[in-house]
Structure 1
């Protein structure tokens, strides 16, 4: 089941229509091997297979119901009535008496629906299928810098063989295999030509010369449903000190934050079961109690998506981030609540057992304190991120140029310690250089996923 999306749909329009029901949803059937090729080869997704323990008569009942639903348009929403939710409904039909959908009245995250199916005892064997991109990355990681150069030359047709390289038989087979897989990866969506077919065959023959070489196996990561749950409740305290008088004439602020996130995962959450470098936050609400002000909305992120894909010798993906929501400028004199859209794109590189990123950015902000309510500010996001199953940390710097309204500069250090899959402590320290003054702050929060 999936949304019926027109070819060439704009990414922003796709996100908008998906959130607000702009697409019809349809059931479709196709050979399973084609779906595997689509995900692992063409879209470079890792796949997890959960084999269902349905009896023959239950499978027959499921297929009969799918036949009844052919050409029926359903509403499609990213949050709730999505692909995973509709599949739960099918399983309820297949095995009457099951109740899989009632926990997902307001939101149905795919990993949560998988967890529900596992808990219902419907899953037998579980298999992992890494993407072709990940298989290639694993293979090339074991090669020397010189071998990586030869891989590119072989794939590009600049070199016919490895006879003059001095490599032993195993190293030659590994280099040929990497070149073959790299070439096939590049040709995934390209029309097949006689020249490319001949080059692929030559590389494959080199990789399969007699010998004992076997390609490195991709290690199996933790299963997705065993990672942290997708909703989160947080309680924190914080302190901010100003170099001059801050809001309401105070030299310092103390506050308590209550944070509720509908879903899903941010970069500092425990990594087990989640893809590295990717974060998706939807419906993030923070309320703040502050002396003299009482309880107010501190921020609301409708959506905050970030993808940090490291660049290397063979691939140069674009890293990007999009954030949309409300944010209170708590160090400004009147602490205004502003509407903002942030978008950035750039590069990410492996550095010091983590990743470093550099992304030019634009911030579109509505601020009633400005003479011109709407402003567009170019800027730069730069940082270093380390992710782990227990410890995660990030150093982030941000600069934004609001022209006549001044520059905003922020340097922030954040750390997260997860003592279980669903419980963690997070600490952040920052320094801000804003048009209205300098300040530094510290915040500590307890976070519980549920």
Structure 2
């Protein structure tokens, strides 16, 4: 007795037809191809296992031909059959070439996975920027894949989160993580995990607000995207913070879901998450926007209803829940006790985020819940902040004119990303600054040009302290900077690295005061030592006013060699439009190397990407 397996032969389309299919934008999207810098093609995928052709990473036509032949392998290969491994390629080629005679492998693993997810609709999720995490200081994006009953039965927590991120083995510190992320030192992988896990990670562990943008993708478009995600499981990409990052990869998936939309081509250099969210909205993909405040914002929102004495009660009860039964606390009006109890419970939840379970704290929380049930507070209403994508765009061109002492100058600048303390305010928290790769060139009278400033990074987190939460403020920066030289007309270009830590306090609804102790390392050609350390201070005021943002700042550096350098500066920005600002800057510098120097500049800032 003999068993004859059915034989299948792949069709042989004409050379012209194969060439047309290989250059179809959808096939190029399935292979994540882009035009090479020197011509030809290259795929963003950095995993040879993704390709069926030996030169598939650089030859879309060869990969298409190899895929077409592979689809006709015997069905007995089961889950290893190319149709099971590449369902998105299979569906597209079947439709394009009317492949009605394909073998019929069962693909039980893929079909079971797809049935478990039940993709029906898509939500773009944006966890807001979180300065204390190097990987998330610009924010992050991921996709939520919802089932059909997500709205009627409120089942979002049963949905799946589609995420792209750096895969890190071991425990790299923050500086190493940042460096390797800049130079592509980590592989990037897609993952599909329960949404409740991501929700816990971003809104609870990191205390980040979440913005959810429901997209108008049809169920067929969502399914098409998810079937391609199956093709990408365990497939490695290089990961770069500024371009080939979470946001860029998700834009590629949306181009798979809805052929014809052009999203990735808008980001040839950088893909800052807020810019990509804006691009998705401008492409007409956003149907609805929902906001989930973080635990921190909810706690502070409840604390706004309490006076100083009541906030003191919150701290005391958080340390000893027995005070709930004290005569002094019970003497307070019931509505005030309700607010205090609710704020205390929220404080305990905030403190417990990311920590191992503590039985004493769990007992306090349970006691507070019982008290809250007996005397419930009014519903907490958190006003929705400005939409992140309504803020200014990331890249900034700068054109200024001013005087340094009695010398007139013009200044030209470019900053790759993305916000400083006095930039246009909408969509950004007061006291947050992230500047990456900023260059300023200055042209003095007589056509004398000089590099005025080159910042590799300049990051500041000025978060106000209060009775309930007492975060530290900090700053770090490094690059090249002009400082006073030995003659009044001279400025010396020095390399430096600096940092500081201290506190920030809320002075009013729209104003902050801050004071930090600082340290600085500097290479100065006029100093005897190659590297000169300094200790100092940085203090000032921030005011968000009707015109824009104002900052007043005083700094001092006291070097070990006796040099003392201090400065006083004032900046006021006028918001001409969302992406256009006018800034007046005035500065007075003091140095033992020269007499005091004054500088005034008017600068036009244009934000775009």
Describe how 1:289-438 pairs up with structure 2 within 5 A.
Answer: 289-292=443-446, 294-329=448-483, 333=487, 334-353=490-509, 354-387=511-544, 390-404=547-561, 406-435=563-592, 436-438=594-596
Q: Structure 1 residues 319 and 447, CA, compared in 2 at 3 Å: closer, same or farther?
A: same
Instruction: Provide Cα deviations, 1:184-211, integer angstroms capped at 9, x if missing partner.
Output: 1111223334433332122112223256
Residue among 399, 402, 419 paired with 1:238: 402
Following the alignment from structure 2 to structure 1, what is the Cα–Cα distance between the partners of residues 584 and 485? Answer: 19
Following the alignment from structure 1 to structure 2, what is the Cα–Cα distance between the partners of residues 362 and 304? Answer: 14
Deviates more, 1:79-88 or 1:91-100: 91-100
Describe how 1:242-253 pairs up with structure 2 within 5 A.
Answer: 252-253=406-407
Deviates more, 1:130-139 or 1:54-63: 54-63
User: What is the Cα deviation at residue 159 of structure 1?
Assistant: 3.5
Aligned partner of residue 296 in structure 1, secondary structure: strand
Deviates more, 1:215-224 or 1:84-93: 215-224
Following the alignment from structure 1 to structure 2, what is the Cα–Cα distance between the partners of residues 355 and 215? Answer: 29
Residue among 363, 372, 383 paired with 1:219: 383
Once superposed, what is the RMSD of the aligned Cα atoms?
1.7
Describe how 1:26-425 pairs up with structure 2 within 5 A.
Answer: 26-157=189-320, 159-161=322-324, 163-165=327-329, 166-209=331-374, 213-241=377-405, 252-292=406-446, 294-329=448-483, 333=487, 334-353=490-509, 354-387=511-544, 390-404=547-561, 406-425=563-582
TM-score, structure 2 as length reference: 0.70
Following the alignment from structure 1 to structure 2, what is the Cα–Cα distance between the partners of residues 351 and 113? Answer: 35
Deviates more, 1:158-167 or 1:99-108: 158-167
Following the alignment from structure 2 to structure 1, what is the Cα–Cα distance between the partners of residues 590 and 459? Answer: 26
Aligned partner of residue 404 in structure 1, secondary structure: coil
User: What is the Cα deviation at residue 371 of structure 1?
Assistant: 2.3
Q: Structure 1 residues 194 and 158, CA, compared in 2 at 3 Å: closer, same or farther?
A: closer
User: What is the Cα deviation at residue 389 of structure 1?
Assistant: 7.2
RCO higher in 1 or 2 (8 Å CA, sep ≥ 6)?
1
1:439 is aligned to 597
CA contact (8 A) 2:532 2:561 kept: no
Aligned partner of residue 202 in structure 1, secondary structure: helix
Pairs aligned (count)? 439
CA contact (8 A) 2:499 2:519 kept: yes
CA contact (8 A) 2:518 2:535 kept: yes
Following the alignment from structure 2 to structure 1, what is the Cα–Cα distance between the partners of residues 342 and 545? Answer: 31
2:74 is aligned to none
Instruction: Provide Cα deviations, 1:390-417, integer angstroms capped at 9, x if missing partner.
Output: 4211111111112325100101111111
Q: In proportion to residue count, which structure has more helix?
A: 2
For structure 1, the residue ranges without an aligned partner over 5 or more in a row are 242-251
User: What is the Cα deviation at residue 437 of structure 1?
Assistant: 1.8
Following the alignment from structure 2 to structure 1, what is the Cα–Cα distance between the partners of residues 540 and 308? Answer: 26
Following the alignment from structure 2 to structure 1, what is the Cα–Cα distance between the partners of residues 252 and 239? Answer: 14
TM-score, structure 1 as length reference: 0.93
Aligned partner of residue 314 in structure 1, secondary structure: coil
Instruction: Provide Cα deviations, 1:237-290, integer angstroms capped at 9, x if missing partner.
Output: 11122xxxxxxxxxx221111111111111101221112321111121111110
Runs of 4+ in 1 over 4 A off after TM superposition: none
Aligned partner of residue 348 in structure 1, secondary structure: strand
User: What is the Cα deviation at residue 2 of structure 1?
Assistant: 0.8
1:247 is aligned to none
Q: Structure 1 residues 329 and 194, CA, compared in 2 at 3 Å: closer, same or farther?
A: closer
User: What is the Cα deviation at residue 86 of structure 1?
Assistant: 0.6
User: What is the Cα deviation at residue 332 of structure 1?
Assistant: 5.0
Aligned partner of residue 28 in structure 1, secondary structure: strand
